[in-house]
Amino acid sequence: MSGGARLVGTVDVVGAKNSVLKLMAAALLAEGTTTITNCPEILDVPLMADVLRSLGCTVDVDGDTVTIDVPAEPGAQADYKSVSKLRASVCVLGPLVARCRRAVVPLPGGDAIGSRPLDMHQAGLRKLGATTEIEHGRVVATAETLRGAQIWLDFPSVGATENILMAAVLAEGTTVIDNAAREPEIVDLCLMLSQMGAKIDGVGTSTLTVHGVTGLAPTTHRVIGDRIVGATWAFAAAMTRGQVTVRGVDPHHIDLVLDKLRSAGARTDIEAGGFTLTMDGRPRAVDFVTLPYPGFATDLQPMAIAVSAVADGTSMITENVFESRFRFVDEMVRLGADARTDGHHAVVRGVDRLSSAPVWASDIRAGAGLVLAALCADGVTEVWDVEHIDRGYPRFVENLRSLGAEISRVSVDPER
Ligand code: UD1
């Protein structure tokens, strides 16, 4: 890809990756056919479909619609091959314990952004009366009866909140999850569970109160728009001094991001279901601190580094969620970024132009951040291993091209 173009135009954002996978897992909680619409066409959706098939479900993925037919007695053991390809598949743990009283889920393994333990998932399920152990690389959870309990999370973990919530909806009595994560994707999950018949109070707050019910019914649900993808386009517009209209995202889910970009000099026009971001000059440096929602999302930290790399002034970026998330900064440095990391801080001194280089995408968001940086680099940049980006950004290259970027995707002979 060649840098230099000003991105101008409109992009449509579809459903959130971090929501759809959990909604697909939630379907396990009810016998019958659940339909999920506005699903992103990303590889993780068919991978999650394979996980559900390995549990006895019939799953049809047709464009943006996923139909899941759940049997009366789903299997309790997720297939190793399917789970190992998809970390988010661990979210079948809660629904399986609730439905089958037993779950065997292979440990999903490490990740380029840092270690991702399951201790809070397990502690929460144990509070509900389950026994959990790690055996031969698998989490084995069993419970004769699940009983409501008071659970305090050490940290508002997204995955732990989801797993405990999906177990608690079918537990006897009342569960209170304190210090729960309150990401919009968790609200989306609560809405779907409520449509299925679950009784959840405090949706959208850090205290979720779940009154267990004896059974849930299948439903039809539309996935919320992907706020991380929407915000990525906002950063792309700001960095290229462009004007991009983003549709399909609730702009209030990225209030903080848009406010940061306004501090950097952008103008925003907010509408229902979208926004337009315009940047006329070089962005000014601003600081970013990642935190659980409603803080600045860790998934956008690479975009924060990218905009800081070309901003006027010096920015401090603090990463509080994943310990290894700065690994990709060395790739930014190859593109000419003046960036230094120390522990969970990065200091970035903005330069006027970056310069092209071959760089490697190590995960979804780092990959997207590198592409944004390459939009501001002189010359032709090659970004390798872009299949990571495909996992979070449907039609990324096509969308960039429609906004005016000079970018193409080439398949390369692995022997090269
Ligand atoms: C989800 C998102 C991911 C996002 C992250 C934080 C999905 C598929 N992924 O990941 O894109 O970056 O939320 O917004 O939705 N932790 C523990 N013990 C646990 C669980 C978590 O120590 O039992 C730690 C993790 O190592 C991490 C922090 O808590 O440092 C946050 O993790 P968590 O919120 O659970 O993230 P995920 O659900 O894995």
**Is 36 part of a structural domain of the chain?**
yes
Average pLDDT estimate for 149-170:
98
Q: What is the pLDDT of residues 52-106, one digit of tens each?
A: 999 999 999 999 999 999 999 999 888 888 787 788 889 999 999 999 999 999 8
Choosing from 50, 111, 287, 338, the catalytic residue is: 111
Residues 216 and 166 in one domain: yes
Q: Is the pTM of this model over 0.75?
A: yes
Supply the pLDDT for residue 114. Answer: 66
Residues 166 and 277 in one domain: no
Are 153 and 180 in contact by the 8 Å Cβ rule? The answer is yes
Ligand 1, from 47, 105, 127, 157: best to mutate by most atoms within 8 Å of Cβ?
Answer: 157
Please list every protein residue whose CB sits less than 6 Å from any atom of ligand 1.
Answer: 18, 21, 88, 115-121, 155, 157-160, 181, 298-299, 321-322
Residues 202 and 239 in one domain: no
Supply the pLDDT for residue 412. Answer: 77
How far is residue 294's CA from residue 310's CA, in Å, rounded to a whole number? 26
For ligand 1, atom 22, name the residue with the nearest CA. 117
Q: What is the pLDDT of residues 232-261, one digit of tens each?
A: 999 999 999 999 999 999 999 999 999 999
Check the CA dihedral 152-158-160-166 and report its sign.
positive
Q: Could you tell me how far CA 210 lies from the centroid of its own chain? A: 24
Residues 174 and 291 in one domain: no
Assess whether 111 carries a catalytic annotation: yes
Distance 155 CA to ligand 1 centre (A): 10
Residues 268 and 189 in one domain: no
Distance 414 CA to ligand 1 centre (A): 33
**Is 94 part of a structural domain of the chain?**
yes
Domain boundary among 170, 186, 221: 221
Q: What is the CATH number of the domain that holds 273?
A: 3.65.10.10
Residues 236 and 204 in one domain: no
Q: What is the pLDDT of residues 289-298, one digit of tens each?
A: 999 999 999 9
Ligand 1, from 122, 321, 363: best to mutate by most atoms within 8 Å of Cβ?
Answer: 321
Residues 292 and 393 in one domain: yes
Average pLDDT estimate for 196-211:
98
Supply the pLDDT for residue 415. Answer: 61
**Is 361 part of a structural domain of the chain?**
yes
Q: What is the pLDDT of residues 208-236, one digit of tens each?
A: 999 999 999 999 999 999 999 999 999 99
Distance 372 CA to ligand 1 centre (A): 24
What is the extent of the structural domain holding 34?
17-221
**Is 414 part of a structural domain of the chain?**
no
Give the percent of the chain with pLDDT over 90: 86
Supply the pLDDT for residue 3. Answer: 85
Q: What is the pLDDT of residues 355-389, one digit of tens each?
A: 999 999 999 999 999 999 999 999 999 999 888 89
Domain boundary among 166, 187, 221: 221
Residues 215 and 302 in one domain: no
Domains contained in the chain, number: 2
Domain boundary among 221, 255, 285: 221
Residues 316 and 185 in one domain: no
Residues 203 and 85 in one domain: yes
Residues 231 and 316 in one domain: yes
Q: What is the pLDDT of residues 22-40, one digit of tens each?
A: 999 999 999 999 999 999 9
Decide if pLDDT at 186 tops 60: yes
Q: What is the pLDDT of residues 103-126, one digit of tens each?
A: 999 887 556 666 678 999 999 999
Average pLDDT estimate for 297-310:
98
